[in-house]
Structures are given as C-alpha cells and as structure tokens.
Structure 1
Amino acid sequence: MNDKKDLKIGIVMDPIESINIKKDSSFAILIEAQKRNHTIYYMQTNDIYLHNGEGHARIQLIKLKKNKVQWFDFIEEKNILLRDLDVILMRKDPPFNTEFIYATYILERAEEQGVLIINKPQSLRDCNEKIFISWFSQFTTDTLITNSTSRIYNFWKKHKDVILKPLDGMGGKNIFRITKTGLNCSVIMENMTNYGKKYCMVQKYLPKIKYGDKRILIVNGKPVPWCLARIPIMGETRANLAVGGKGKVQSLSKTDWEISNYVSPILKKRGLIFVGLDVIGNKLTEINVTSPTCICEIESKKNISITGMLLDCIEKKIKKRDAKK
C-alpha cells in the first residue's frame, strides 16, 4: 500500500520564462517534484505579501516539460494563504537586497505556521554567502571584509594579488582582480566601496583557480560525492559559468571532504537544507545559500539524482511533521 502524500510545493524564483532549462537547477528540482505527482505553486517575490499578519501569495499552478521552446504551462491563477502549502522553496537569485530580506520575513510567518521553508528564512538573512565563510576561517584564504580603501590598499600591498567581490552579488558580476602592477587600483577600490560607504570582500588571489572553482552541493547535511569544477577561459579571472567558465565534473578530493564534512552539520543545524560550497584548491571561498546551481551539470555526467536526494529529504520532513499533528 502506498502511503506517500502528494505535496503542495511552492517555489519563489525569478521569471520562469527567462531560464535556461538545460542548466537551471530550480527547473530540475521542479521536474523531479512533478514526476512524484506533487503540485507546484509558482510565484515571484512580488507575488507574496503580508495581510493582517498572514502570509499570502498570488500563485500560478504550473506544468513543466523538457521542451526548449515551451517548457511550462500555467494552469490556474489564484490567491492562497502560504500556510496551506507543505513546503516553499526560496530560489530567488541575488542580488541579496532589502527586498529579498523583506520576502524572508513574509516566508518566516508561514514557517511559524508549519510550512517547511528551504532554506530557512532566518538563516538566509544571517548567513551572507560571502561573509559566512568567516565562521570557518581555518579553511579560507586570507580574507578581509571592509569599506575602507586604505585597508584594502594595505591588504593588496601585503599580497600583491587580490580579488574584490561585492557582498550581495552572484554569477561573477562586479568581481575585480588587482595584480602586482596595481593597475586601476584606486578606481576599483573607490567603486567597490562607493568611496568608503559600502562593504566588500577582499581575498588573496588563489592561483589554483586555473584548475577550477569547485561547486560542492550539500543536501540536508550530506555532501554530494561529485562536484563541478568551473574552469576560467583564457584571459579571464572568473570561473563562473555565467561568464564563460567551462564545467568539469569530478569526485571530491580529500580536502573537499574535510571541508564539507565539517561545514555540513552546521548548515543542517541552521536549517540550510540545500547549499553550494565554493572551493578553490583547498580553500573555502563562498557558501551559497540562496539559489545554489550546478545540479544539471553533475546529473548529466554521473549516475546520481541530486534532485531525488532533495525531494526525498522534503518528503521525509513533511511526513515527520504530519506525524506530530
């Protein structure tokens, strides 16, 4: 006898009409959910709202298909209470701005009423994808978070080769490298800090980026044994796929396992169920908690279902929750 429950799965994401289904992790997750006969409630951040303390949303029921011309059909549009859903996947891409934070407050109200939110709204706010690595400094390269151009300059003088990143971005946008020549050093520092008004991250450059910026996926505290090494193209500092990096699927190294096994239980305890670690060589450089990618690239090369791992986790958590009612 099959006692499996068909779930009501909400997802908050960017416009589905603009995604690339060949590599979009949100689409892959939803396809797996649909295979399991779960109902999918699609929404964007401007569809969710609070009214008299209750989380609401204008949702669209959606059907998906692996068709690169027309990959979705909207079946029905209606307004719902968020507490009527079993789970909500918060998959909105950065920038991690004030509007993103407001959305997490709305989702948190639904969480308090029993809805499973992945990832946990409070932890999305607490665990900035760049800054959170500072909690694991034994695994990181020399890293500075500052809005001071003089501190950045002194950091560069020490290392002669550094990377600067904004704290709220993704996909390799607005990432700069200052090499030993110091070319454009002043203008880069001024722009990254908005003349001392905005924090940014500065890291010692890691030459092992030429072997790839590894994306290691963590599902409910368990590392996926295969990662995607994103290798920068000739003449490019950044390895992100969004800026032309080439992906290579490979097994986790000894140090990859060491980092992952240490960090994973802490992520799970914080309610961060689906996370992507970025590792260059043996150094942890970022912890992606908002909308981790690279599912499709790994699944296409290896006999593993990361989406299956995630849906298994969701189904078990909902079953356990319902058993307590």
Structure 2
Amino acid sequence: MRPLDIAFLMDPIGGINIHKDSTFAMLLEAQARGHRCHYLELADLSVRDGKAWGRLRPVTVKREPGAHYQLGEPAHRPLAEMDALLMRKDPPFDMDYIFASYLLEHAGTWVINDPVSLRNANEKLYALHFPELMPRTLVSRHIPQLREFLAEEGEVVVKPLYGRGGEGVFYLHTGDRNVGSILETVTGTGRHYVMAQRYIPAVRDGDKRILMVDGEPIAGALLRVPAADDFRGNMVAGASAQPAELTPRDREICARVGPRLRQDGLVFVGLDVIGGHLTEINVTSPTGVQEIDRFFKTNVCARLFDVIEARLS
C-alpha cells in the first residue's frame, strides 16, 4: 500500500489525554503504517470557489506525556489533495459543527464520517430508525405529554437532543416534586424537544459502548458503570470502565444497525446499549478505543485503517 495523505480534523492536540483519546490512537496507527498525517482544527477550514481548503500542518505523534506531538509548518492546501479526512471534532454539536459539515461536503475527498450523515444522524434521534431495539421512547417538547409518559412508565430518563457526556440528563420518577421544574428546565418551558426513555434498572450494571467499524462490531466492548451516587454511564460523569463481552442480543443489535451505517457512510460509530436495549448511536467522534484495546489486547484502529486502505487501494 502506498503512503496515504490523511487529514485529522480534531480538537486542539495539545489538550488531549493521550491515554484515553481515540483520535490519538488513530494518529499512532496511521503513522505506524507509514501514512502522512496532517492536522487541522475547525477554524482552519475554508471554501474558495466551491472547493474546500484547510490550513494543514504535518503532525507526528508519540506516546510521551508532555511531548506527544510535533507540528510542521502550516500550508493552505485544497482538501482534495488528501486521500481521506477523518472528522474527529468532539461535540458539542453546535452551529459551528453544522457549518463545518457543509464545508466538508466540498472536500473533494473521502470524509470519515460522511458529513451529510453527521448532520442527519443526531446521536439521540438516529436510533429511532430501530424502535424495536430501543426502550419505550417519547420525543416531545410538550410538558403535559412528558408528564403522561412518566405516569405510564413510573421511572424515565429525560435528555436534551444536543447534549454530550451526560450533560443535562435527568432521572425522574412519579412522586418526585421536582418533575415540573426539571421538565421546564430541559424543554426551555416547552421550546425545545427532549427525549424521554423508560428507565432501565440494568444501567446500574453499566452502559455498554460497542464500537462499529464499517458496520461490523469490534469483538470486545467497554462497560461504563455509573458511580454509586449517579445514574449516568458516562466517563466524564464519574462512571468507571470495565471490560464486557458481546452478548447474543448485542450482536443482534449490531446486525440490525450495521447495514444502515454502511448505507449512510458512517464508518466509525459507537453504539450505547443498556440491558439489551439500544439507547444511542454515536457518530461524532466516538470514543472508547484505548480502553477496549487495553482490556482485550486488540487494535481497534488497525481494523479502521484496514478498511480505509482497502477502500483507497
């Protein structure tokens, strides 16, 4: 395989945690294969005369805290000169992110994940294509309707459609005198849609992150077990990481979701599964690579770059 030119559009590289960051693992793998890596941030994107350009800097990385990267001189280059571009900007999924996806439509090269699908595949709502795999779910901004759903279920989790890392996610149960205030807060007094889902008690055993490469699951999964004083299975919310094998139900979920991911150009995706129920499909910079590699002695990024090289060969 000839050396490829691969651009990584990501958050500031100086601030990443090299022991956890999945993009850092991708850079290491690409570099180990002899590919030329180029670094840019969101502010480095532009479109001139219908063609996307980037302020690209050659980047080399090494697993050395405090000296983990070295950048070359920047150069404005058409993104079409790259063999592929990995869109690895972390959420929040705000208007700047959306506008960047529009610019990337003019890249003239393969963007991973597909920028149109990044816009269309909201990480909460995309799972609605598979209602039979999900817990009972309501998307609404109508507070009486949300109250009615809570009364039917007894316990629900309510989350904003644009959140990340468990931000703004609430557990509600009938009899809680804070219900009205919480629903007013998360909906902006009825101005914003939220997702309400039946609470799954199995979350106490962990929220399973399954990584998908080209529609196929990685062999092992990351189980994020909530802290004793929290219900959220998010690492940034204090959840602990444990290894987890894929169950037959997990594989059933992957088999149902995988073809749609391939159809939509979503090459690298993280599924969230709680108690055998699909809760979210993460397409914007999914994480968990390094934890899974440590637990299972795998190389997730090798699988990803096998797919990239095969497509570009």
Question: Match of 1:11?
Answer: 8
Structure 1: runs of 5+ lacking an equivalent:
320-325
| Distance (Å, rounded) in 2 between the aligned partners of 1:184 and 1:17 | 41
Q: Any runs of at least 4 consecutive aligned residues in structure 1 with deviations exceeding 6 A, and if so which?
A: none
> Do 1:43 and 1:60's aligned partners in 2 also have CA atoms closer than 8 Å?
yes
Shift of 1:40: 1.1
Secondary structure of 2:132's match? helix
Alignment of 1:222-241 (within 5 A): 222-241=216-235
1:34 is the counterpart of 2:27: no
Alignment of 1:195-214 (within 5 A): 195-214=189-208
Aligned residues: 313
Identical counterparts, % of pairs: 39
Question: Match of 1:98?
Answer: 95
Structure 2: runs of 5+ lacking an equivalent:
none
* 296, 301, 305: which one aligns with 1:307: 301
RMSD, aligned CA: 1.0
Alignment of 1:67-146 (within 5 A): 67-110=64-107, 113=108, 115-146=109-140
Shift of 1:181: 2.8
| Distance (Å, rounded) in 2 between the aligned partners of 1:221 and 1:153 | 37
Shift of 1:179: 2.0
Q: Which amino acid aligns with 2:35?
A: H
Q: Which amino acid aligns with 2:122?
A: N
1:43 is the counterpart of 2:34: no
1:275 is the counterpart of 2:269: yes
| Distance (Å, rounded) in 2 between the aligned partners of 1:267 and 1:310 | 14
| Distance (Å, rounded) in 1 between the aligned partners of 2:182 and 2:84 | 42
Secondary structure of 2:177's match? coil
Shift of 1:303: 2.5
Shift of 1:230: 0.4
Shift of 1:183: 3.4
Q: Which amino acid aligns with 2:66?
A: V
1:160 is the counterpart of 2:154: yes
Scaled by the length of structure 1, the TM-score of the pair is 0.94
1:219 is the counterpart of 2:213: yes
Question: Match of 1:56?
Answer: 53
Question: Match of 2:182?
Answer: 188
| Distance (Å, rounded) in 1 between the aligned partners of 2:285 and 2:37 | 18
Q: Which amino acid aligns with 2:94?
A: N
| Distance (Å, rounded) in 1 between the aligned partners of 2:46 and 2:187 | 33
1:149 is the counterpart of 2:126: no
> Do 1:218 and 1:276's aligned partners in 2 also have CA atoms closer than 8 Å?
yes
Scaled by the length of structure 2, the TM-score of the pair is 0.98
